[in-house]
Chains A and B, each alone.
Chain A
């Protein structure tokens, strides 16, 4: 005759089964509940890794294709926490796409739009998420969609980026930039020749200011900059107009512009500031990041001098 298991054994068995379910089966039972955390950990790891911003953007695109795209296709099934996590990941990916993976920008933007739409359908869209999508639209210069978003959320207090709005956007592949004009911003084409040499300096931080001051203090280098065709350029991801105003106030001899679309500035490295991109006949031939070291200063001096000699010939 078999002994009836005592209550302790029963409890123990039940706990074991529950533990098993909790550990192994809960992701299955609750869809992708835990995948958000795992994926975010991966995004976070890429974000802070020691690779270049461009490599980060490519790694994030691989992640998008591998996991996020499928996830976006089933938004209605996702839990709120996962939707927010997904939106956050798309925001990160969108940011790094501005560093060189320009084709992927629309992927992330559409993803953000769809996630926000789902959040709104559930009436749980946070103001910070709406604002993040709004800024992504402004950075992408999609002024129609940004105006629609403002209308869709009339109670939200959007940052005022309307000075970036233009009635006619330049065609793709035409590098253009915003300059200060008559108290506002206007779009102009840079004076970059199709033939010959020119320099595009990516600026936008204190080290760039230090570099410009250094050029000014060096009479020979300043003379070379005056003779050369130089464009001082701020990334299109910069939405703070004051950055441009402050630069122009400090360096009126080096007036700057904000790129309308980074992608149109072919060959320009927007990932680090300051970066001196030297072009010849429309193609980048040298790129120098940072101007602190004597070595970089001499390198820049040598390049500009050789261009001067060529121009004189």
Chain B
């Protein structure tokens, strides 16, 4: 029996479903732009795309693989807020009347880590999704992580989420991918990093320009932001590792929020995005 991972789920959807529904050259799916950081989740047995900019609201993309067609626009769009990783928020719904589509917005369960309720929900979602496969895919079984998007998995498996963790990592890893930047660039790159309670909120891509794709990827992977490698416009792809990275990036979402730094002030005074050339504000720039 073949096990289908998250990457393969995405590939499957892209090949079998999204393209049939019309994916234009800008990555727009039926008028809903991929630029807005959609995430895949399988809450309720259906396949949903979640918008990061919509604070993790999910619109129902496909009720199941059998349905095939992408549907978006608020058909009972209840889903996991997959981009909210911060635990302990409880659960509540928020309803905005008069908007199109109408959302219901559900925050995370208290925790999102192995052994938690969230894991059970993801498992249930994965199980429901597996059941809904058509004959073509019925032999596939999803792993737990298949229920969440690649980005979310990247984020939750990120080894570094705080400045203290970064300092500790650099102290014991003298050959880290970050050290490949060289002393001067490393210094400015590290100075540019802005951490939010969720992880790395923003970073400067200027120092990463001209590096190999695989090098950029491995640096950003430390923070769970490897899919934002595309924000580095001039990447070199000369090795097989680079090509692998580029292949993955083709499936990832185009970067947004360029030119802004994530300023999360201590004490909860005022959190703002400030103009900063070459900075990339990530989906982890959140305070809750």
How does the 8 Å CB contact mask read for A37-55 relative to B, with 1 for contact and 0 for none? 0000100100110000100
Contacts of A183-233 to chain B: CB distance below 8 A: 204-210, 213, 216-217
The answer to whether A95 and B277 touch (CB under 8 A), given A206-B285, A210-B55, A273-B260, is: yes
Q: Can you name the residue of chain B whose Cβ is closest to the Cβ of A295? A: B269
Cβ-neighbour of B275 out of A44, A91, A271, A292 (below 8 A): A271
How far, in whole Å, are A204 and B275 apart by their CA atoms in the complex? 11
User: Quick check: is B286 within 8 A (CB to CB) of the other chain?
Assistant: yes
The answer to whether A48 and B188 touch (CB under 8 A), given A205-B257, A216-B96, is: yes
User: Quick check: is A257 within 8 A (CB to CB) of the other chain?
Assistant: no
| A residues less than 8 Å from B269 (CB atoms) | 290, 292-293, 295-296
User: Quick check: is B68 within 8 A (CB to CB) of the other chain?
Assistant: no
How far, in whole Å, are A209 and B281 apart by their CA atoms in the complex? 14
One of A21-29, A65-73, A148-156, A244-252 contacting the partner: A244-252
| A residues less than 8 Å from B272 (CB atoms) | 205, 207, 272-275, 289-290
| B residues less than 8 Å from A249 (CB atoms) | 99-100
Q: What's the minimum C-beta distance from A239 to chain B, rounded to whole angstroms?
A: 9
For chain B, the count of residues having a C-beta within 8 Å of the partner chain is 41
Do B54 and A296 touch across chains, with their CB atoms under 8 A apart? no
| Chain B contact residues, majority secondary structure | mixed
Number of A-B contacts (CB under 8 A): 116
Contacts of B7-36 to chain A: CB distance below 8 A: 33, 35-36
How far, in whole Å, are A96 and B277 apart by their CA atoms in the complex? 7
Binding site for B on A (CB under 8 A): 41, 44, 47-48, 53, 91-92, 95-96, 98-99, 126, 128, 131, 204-210, 213, 216-217, 235, 237, 240, 242-243, 245-246, 249-253, 270-275, 288-293, 295-296
Can you report 24 A-B residue pairs in the complex whose CB atoms are below 8 A from each other?
A41-B184, A48-B191, A53-B274, A92-B277, A95-B275, A96-B277, A204-B260, A206-B281, A206-B285, A210-B55, A235-B275, A242-B256, A245-B33, A246-B51, A249-B99, A249-B100, A252-B100, A253-B98, A270-B275, A271-B274, A273-B273, A274-B272, A288-B270, A292-B269
